[in-house]
């Protein structure tokens, strides 16, 4: 049973960075439609927390689909993370340089694969710098470790399961996208996709969960932002990345069993036969 806070502070990491079981993972990612000047990997290569390996969600993903960065099967996942030096017995600390995108996604991926000793660095690289933490630009030498995948299917939902939840109301479906995309008052950034939302879902923009300094909001603030936080819940977004930020927020409120709809709106709205709601929830 996962308990406690899913986050660690930069001060805690600074004190524990050299512990032999700690593995630090930089998950910095910029969505292609943002047209960022650098890729997440280039950002990591310029400066990262000492010993941090880079986890690229566009490289560690399922094949055979046009959907972006879908969760890979456990064999592929195990093979890739072993090469990063992540394995059984490690305490994994994930961070990024982009407001939990995609540190929360990697946190969720590891948990789906059965590795629950994983935390997210609150405030990311900016918090580390503010704490006076050192940086390096040399890639670490990762020692391959054994990783045993034990898939937690309850943390992952597909389209059929989400459609059933939408029709029955068995789960609260919470959408992390910006409100305009949810209501269909603003376009989707992915060409060809309509905006709108899954019928019965509610909107909680992931950006609202994050303070101006890049840290996650407090428990009391999250309670006001996340609906029915102890109810069975599925989070969704554009492509399954910021949905994990909502799952992280729910975990901070004590609900560690929130599932993520991996294909999210990109998968749902790509089929014109699926129902699309517009306007406020």
Residue numbers annotated as active site: 237
Phi, psi for 24 (deg, rounded to 5): -105, 135
In order of 78, 91, 110, 120, the CA distances from 116 in angstroms are 14, 9, 7, 12
Residue 149, both tokens: 């995948």
Q: Determine phi and psi for 156, rounding to 5 degrees.
A: -130, 130
The DSSP annotation for 108-128 comes to HHHHHTT---EEEETTHHHHH
Distance CA 68, CA 61 (A): 8
Q: Please tell me the distance from the alpha carbon of residue 152 to that of residue 191, in angstroms, as a whole number.
A: 33
């Amino acid at each position: 049973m996962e308990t406690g806070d899913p986050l660690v502070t930069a001060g805690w990491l600074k004190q524990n960075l050299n512990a032999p079981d700690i593995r630090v993972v930089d998950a910095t990612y910029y969505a292609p439609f943002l047209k960022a000047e650098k890729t997440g990997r280039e950002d990591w290569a310029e400066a990262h927390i000492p010993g941090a390996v880079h986890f690229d969600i566009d490289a560690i993903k399922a094949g055979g689909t046009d959907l972006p960065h879908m969760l890979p099967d456990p064999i592929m996942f195990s093979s890739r993370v072993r090469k990063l030096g992540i394995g059984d017995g490690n305490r994994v600390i994930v961070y990024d340089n982009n407001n939990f995108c995609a540190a929360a996604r990697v946190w969720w991926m590891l948990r789906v694969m059965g590795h629950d000793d994983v935390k997210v660095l609150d405030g990311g690289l900016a918090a580390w710098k503010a704490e006076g933490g050192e940086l390096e630009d040399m890639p670490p030498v990762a020692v391959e470790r054994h990783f045993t995948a034990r898939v937690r299917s309850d943390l992952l939902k597909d389209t059929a399961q989400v459609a059933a939840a939408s029709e029955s109301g068995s789960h609260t479906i919470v959408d992390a996208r910006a409100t305009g995309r949810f209501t269909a008052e603003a376009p989707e950034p992915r060409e060809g996709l309509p905006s709108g939302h899954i019928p019965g879902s509610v909107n909680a923009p992931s950006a609202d969960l994050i303070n101006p300094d890049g840290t996650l909001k407090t428990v009391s603030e999250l309670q006001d932002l996340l609906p029915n936080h102890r109810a069975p819940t599925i989070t969704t977004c554009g492509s399954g990345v910021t949905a994990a930020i909502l799952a992280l927020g729910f975990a901070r409120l004590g609900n560690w069993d929130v599932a993520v709809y991996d294909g999210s709106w990109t998968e749902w709205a790509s089929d014109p036969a699926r129902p699309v709601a517009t306007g406020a929830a």
